[in-house]
Amino acid sequence: MTQHKVWKNVLAALALAALLQPALPARAAVEQRDVTHSQPLPMGRSAAADQTADHSAEQKPVVNQFLLEGEGAPASETVRKELPTYTAADKAAEKELEQLNRAYAKEQLQAQRAKIKARKEAEKRRDEARDARQTYPLDFDAARFQKRSLQVKGQPIVFRAYEGLVYTAKPYAADYERLNVYIPEAYFKGGSVHGYTAATAPIFLPNEVGDYLPGQAGTPSETSRHGGANAILRALSRGCVVVAPAIRGRTLQDKDGRYIGKAPALIVDYKAAVRYIRYNRGKGLLPAGNPERILAAGTSAGGALASLLGATGNAPDYEEDLRDIGAARERDDVFAVQAYCPITNLDHADMAYEWMFHGVPLTVEQRPGGTPAEQTNRAVRNGAETEAPAAGDPAAQDSLRKSFATYLNDLALKDDSGNLLNLSEDGEGLFKEYLQGKYVEAAQQALDNGIDLGNQAWLTISGGRVIYADLGLYARTVKRIKGTPAFDAFDLGTGENQEFGSPVTDKRHFTWYSLQQSGALPLPKQAEEKAEDERFALAWRRAEGQPRERLVLRKAQIAREKAQEALPLAQYLADSKTIRMLNPMDYIGTPDSTVAPHWRIRHGVRDRDTSLAIPALLALRLQNAGVRTDFRAVWGYGHDGDYDLDQLFDWMDAAVQEADQAEADGATKRTVEQEYLMDWVYPDDGTRKQQQ
Ligand code: DHB
């Protein structure tokens, strides 16, 4: 089940409790509905308290509304029911119930107040800690550079290198919250590169985050794992200004042992880098690059990060954290995103993984040590692979697999023709066909390029056309490299568990399902909880007019609520806001963010680090929100990126041209929206500058 669903149930239970509360005390509520008592009773005074004579002597028939609703009798019918004998003990119980409710309401109010107070104190401590950290200047110093020259395809690329610039005023980790800037030398002489000038050059913003670990600031290189110049040097050769930030990650600790790189640190840093660019370009300190043409790029966790940046432009959720690190007060929306195999949508990735790989043998890299999840979650790339006997508990696989259909159907995604991409509970449907189509497309391209696909049993090829991709057979062919659940492990053994830690807790869950299954806390299973709620509602209804019964019930209910509230949830489960702040899906198509208007998403056909469903959901969500999205599975690659840099920069050129044309045509709607959002996020305090 989705976490969303679980919370919906929790909320429903709370709503039910809230609904029941005003109905108390029971006797008064019943008598208010008594057709013979048309006068409402004064608030807070029970009917019984007004009775001086023996109550049983004047029994009156009442309309039992609960009975009417609960048993489904037609509303027109008036059902009359005799109340049971009302004794002194009943009166006492009624009074006690009333007192109990008052006391509990007061207790809850006090708890609420205490929480607010604690939050304010925490904020104050955070501010003090921030003030105590060293301050770094945000101003870019254009005079401090090195001139360098490297070659791309035999041609010299001359550029200025500005390295190690701290991009935020109050960093937690100044050795990570720093960036490198590279600018083609031609721009300092009024020249142009690949048709761009100092003013129009797109800004390439690559991150080197992998595995949610701290990411280094990238540097240009003539060699890369795919041969030839790396993405940064290629970007320079294509006329880009490059800004390559280092980024905090899940393992970082400060000198006191507090964790300083847990979610949402990575996205807060990336946003701060964008703001640093706008700030310094706006002040005229950064000598080149168009801040309205920023292309964010990354692979895997870095692809997830680039996607997150593109999806959450200027979203208010991040404001507090940006302020905490002293980010420049600027916009942080970007123009375009290149995401290679994004390991994203982590709170639903377990479901997607089981939908694709349930029942498939697990391939593990044989390395000693670690927890079972650490063993099974180590990505197998180049190492020797051996098949493990079982991938995990079949019941968990089945449960997660089924939840995927529910989650997907809730998203209501559509293909280009407007068809709903749904799945039935058994995992079949148009969404599956959509993914098959992605693999067919990739295979067709390979075939067209002369690659022999004869040994690919999962593909059906006829007359030079790839006509079918069997997803079940595909999964068995590529095998799975992660256990169940793939991301939120019951034993907290994955990198993602560590990513969702807190300043004081290294590893936490980020799905309700895994928290429940882990057994770390005595949480009732969702089904049990629902059954319990239903049992209570029924018992409550049946006990109408029986204050002693209701007193017992209410006491049990309060005890249950208190037990739940007393659980140290925050030690085991990341809070819902942090989980949201790491999921681009939660921002696309909402009014809370400025989404990048151009996206390119690539996922290797052999990739088993996450299900193809995950980038597909992202792409469809974007397309459905009217965002230009180029999404493909790529033949010949597994979990990888930067393998098609020429096409990437061709795509960037086309996107820039299109946007420049739209701007020249006066399509300014987006700008108006941005300004509106900015006024909301930053009430003008006089520090904001106009973009040039
Ligand atoms: C990466 C790979 C994973 O399998 C994962 O779960 C998280 C990140 C990566 O390569 O960045």
pLDDT number for residue 665 = 85
Instruction: Tell me 243's DSSP state.
Output: E
Beta strands in 93-177 (DSSP E): 146-152, 155-166
Determine if ligand 1 sits within 6 Å of the CB of residue 495. Answer: yes
Determine if ligand 1 sits within 6 Å of the CB of residue 614. Answer: no
Compute the distance between CA of residue 335 and CA of residue 291 in angstroms, rounded to an integer: 9
More confident residue, 223 or 524: 223
In tens, the pLDDT along 630-643 reads 999 999 999 999 99
Lowest average pLDDT, out of 295-304, 337-346, 538-547, goes to 538-547
Task: Answer yes or no: are the C-beta atoms of 449 and 440 closer than 8 Å.
Answer: no
**Mean pLDDT across 146-160:** 97
Q: Is the pLDDT of residue 110 over 80?
A: yes
pLDDT number for residue 361 = 86
Beta bridge partners of 215: 247
Q: Mean pLDDT in the chain?
A: 86
DSSP string, 620-665: HHHHHTT-EEEEEEETT-SS---S-HHHHHHHHHHHHHHHHHHHHT
pLDDT number for residue 666 = 79
pLDDT number for residue 365 = 58
Q: Report residue 392 as tokens.
A: 């995990």
pLDDT number for residue 552 = 96
Q: Is the pLDDT of residue 433 over 90?
A: yes
Lowest average pLDDT, out of 40-54, 87-101, 352-366, 520-534, goes to 40-54
User: Which residue, among 29, 96, 14, has the nearest Cα to 541 in the 3D structure?
Assistant: 29
More confident residue, 108 or 665: 108
Compute the distance between CA of residue 450 and CA of residue 638 in angstroms, rounded to an integer: 19
Q: Report residue 666 as tokens.
A: 């006066």
pLDDT number for residue 399 = 95
**Mean pLDDT across 446-470:** 96
pLDDT number for residue 72 = 44
Determine if ligand 1 sits within 6 Å of the CB of residue 609. Answer: yes
Task: For residue 61, say if its preceding peptide bond is cis, omega within 30 degrees of 0.
Answer: no
**Mean pLDDT across 92-121:** 96
User: Among 212, 300, 341, 364, which residue has the most ligand 1 atoms within 8 Å of its CB, making it the best to mutate?
Assistant: 300
**Mean pLDDT across 558-575:** 94
Q: Is the pLDDT of residue 287 over 70?
A: yes
- The residue whose C-alpha atom lies closest to atom 8 belonging to ligand 1 is 211
Determine if ligand 1 sits within 6 Å of the CB of residue 343. Answer: yes
Ligand 1 centre to CA of 424 (Å) is 29
In tens, the pLDDT along 380-424 reads 433 455 555 555 789 999 999 999 999 999 999 999 999 999 999
Which own/partner pairs from 195-198 qualify as long-range (CB within 8 Å, at least 24 positions apart)? 195/239, 195/653, 196/239, 196/240, 198/287, 198/288, 198/289
**Mean pLDDT across 137-153:** 97
Which atom of ligand 1 is nearest the CA belonging to 210? 11
